[in-house]
Copies of this chain bind each other. A is one copy, B any other.
């Protein structure tokens, strides 16, 4: 029961539920892409992802500096969970909006996305200077 309760708790948060929903539509997503979707700090996203991983719902894979997250298809009960949640996700306004945003996110490279997140333009004019005055 504790494992199941852990899954319920992991899903019982709006932002984690949104992450779960996004991962039902994309084979895998990078931490920075999820950060862009939720519009919260990277630290917060990292903690949310940790909770989903600990619950067994999500798995991660590191590739150089990037970490990719995906639904763990080996998760106990995942088929039943998806049978319940997928139809409800598909008819939710939040999910519709998220899919549109994700569409835009996937249209740029991770490199450009992270540049934007650091507040740089897509083609940084100056690289090492910290001041702007």
- Across-interface contacts of A103 in B (CB, < 8 A): none
* A interface list, Cβ under 8 A from B: 1-5, 8-9, 11-12, 14, 17, 21, 77, 80-81, 83-85, 88-89, 92-95
Interchain residue pairs A-B with the least CB separation, the first 3: A1-B92, A80-B84, A12-B12
- Across-interface contacts of A81 in B (CB, < 8 A): 84
What separation, in Å, do the CA atoms of A106 and B20 have in the docked complex?
41
Cβ of A79 to closest chain B Cβ, rounded Å: 9
- Across-interface contacts of A5 in B (CB, < 8 A): 12, 14, 17
Cβ of A100 to closest chain B Cβ, rounded Å: 15
- Across-interface contacts of A2 in B (CB, < 8 A): 92
B12, A17: Cβ atoms closer than 8 Å: no
Cβ of A97 to closest chain B Cβ, rounded Å: 10
A89, B8: Cβ atoms closer than 8 Å: no
A94, B1: Cβ atoms closer than 8 Å: yes
Q: Which of A1, A83, A88 has most B Cβ within 10 Å?
A: A1
